[in-house]
């Protein structure tokens, strides 16, 4: 069993996925025909979570087969490229894909591009990337959220780090950190010159407490 399975179990816990919400991998056959193979970690993700709308398109989006009757980002919409593009930024400003010589790997490194022609490494595997996206989609899909990023100071970040446990760090969007758990999350992005935070929770009281705490600590 690959380590990617552990990451997908974390996604299931984070989102409270009650049952299999996968896509029949037969819908992905056009990729296999074009690229020769599909990474195992990607196939397992699609066959486990592929139909979960909030998980896969609250912000950025999982590319879905043309034959699936829902979703806004389909295989037919992907620009012509030699990479297997499976995820895109919601305005198509960025695409994430797998190099053609890596499609037979179990859990290959994901590459990123602005134009689907020039590609660079994210330094993270398919399952690492999808776990980070799952956290980002979750923090933005809670019933109660800040609905935007807040500017924060380094002192505020230090206070947050001491109050809320770190859940995950990722290279996504040049570096993000997630604090909290499946009940409430904080997403921190940016550099030392400009830190940003987005809070989310499904509990109104917890969210209000966190918002008040933020005001008291220099948000």
The whole-number pLDDT of residue 167 equals 98
pTM, two decimal places: 0.95
- Residues 107 and 128: their CA atoms lie apart, in Å, by 9
How does residue 1 score in pLDDT terms, banded at 50, 70 and 90? low
Contacts of 96 (CB under 8 A, 6+ apart): 85, 86, 87, 88, 110, 111, 112, 122, 129
Question: So what's the pLDDT on residue 212?
Answer: 84
φ/ψ region of 148 (left if φ > 0, alpha if ψ in -120 to 50, else beta) reads: beta
Distance between CA atoms of 179 and 116, rounded to whole angstroms? 32
């Amino acid at each position: 069993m690959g380590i990617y399975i552990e990451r997908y179990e974390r996604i299931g816990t984070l989102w409270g996925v009650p049952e299999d919400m996968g896509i029949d991998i037969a819908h992905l056959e056009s990729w296999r025909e074009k690229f020769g193979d599909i990474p195992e970690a990607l196939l397992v993700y699609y066959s486990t979570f592929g139909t979960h709308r909030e998980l896969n398109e609250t912000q950025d989006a999982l590319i879905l087969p043309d034959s699936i009757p829902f979703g806004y980002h389909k295989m037919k919409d992907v620009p012509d490229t030699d990479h297997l593009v499976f995820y895109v930024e919601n305005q198509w400003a960025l695409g994430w894909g797998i190099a053609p010589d890596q499609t037979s790997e179990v859990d290959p490194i994901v590459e990123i591009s602005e134009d689907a022609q020039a590609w660079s490494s994210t330094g993270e595997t398919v399952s690492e990337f999808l776990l980070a996206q799952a956290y980002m989609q979750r923090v933005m899909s809670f019933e109660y959220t800040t609905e935007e990023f807040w500017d924060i100071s380094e002192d505020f970040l230090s206070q947050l780090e001491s109050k809320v446990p770190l859940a995950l760090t990722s290279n996504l969007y040049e570096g993000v950190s997630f604090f909290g758990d499946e009940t409430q999350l904080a997403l921190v992005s940016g550099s030392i010159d400009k830190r940003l935070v987005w809070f989310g929770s499904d509990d109104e009281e917890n969210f209000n407490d966190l918002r008040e705490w933020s005001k008291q600590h220099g948000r």
